[in-house]
Amino acid sequence: MIDVTLTLNGTPRTVSVEPRETLSDLVRNRCDMTGTHVGCDHGACGACTVHLDGMPVRSCIVLAATCDGREVRTIEATRKDETFGVIRRHFHEKHALQCGFCTLGMLMMAADIIARHPTPSEDQIRNALSGQVCRCTGYMGIVAAIASAAEELRGA
């Protein structure tokens, strides 16, 4: 076992992990942050997207042992975040979700897209979402939701 000290959703935590344990296993199974969904277990679907030191990562392919001293933010940390509130509302209004399995990873990615591109073009949104898989929506609503959330957040 390896002791890992990280900041999870603003709270310092020390957890003993197996060398092969993933970040998604750590947050879901040891820290009860079940909003981090695991869809493919090899980084292809994006359902497990979390922010690691402010950057979106696929937590199912990040080894927990490499997170010592780092900051992890899961969807649970966004409940009272005003930016995420705007993004969630636009996902609802633009019908950007159906079954909901991918939604939490999509929201984490959407926040990153808007942070990097305050006025994102459709191509920028689609390019940034290229690693996020949704089997239900066809992405039209997701792209529209991100664009309209970005517009509101920049005060346009």
The sheet with strand 11-17 has its strands ordered as 11-17, 2-8, 71-73, 49-52, 55-58
Number of H helices, E strands in the chain: 5, 5
As a whole number, the mean pLDDT across the chain is 95
Q: How far apart are CA 44 and CA 36, in angstroms?
A: 15
CA distance 73 to 4: 16
Global pTM value: 0.93
Q: How far is CA 2 from the centre of its chain?
A: 26
- Taking the CA of residue 146 as centre, how many other CA atoms within 13 Å lie in the half-sphere pointing to its CB? 29
Q: What is the pLDDT at residue 16?
A: 95
What pLDDT band is residue 156 in, cutting at 50, 70 and 90? Answer: low
pLDDT of residue 138: 81
**Hey, what domains does the chain have and what are their CATH numbers?**
2-77 (3.10.20.30), 80-153 (1.10.150.120)
pLDDT by residue (tens digit) across 49-103? 999 999 999 999 999 999 999 999 999 999 999 999 999 999 999 999 888 899 9
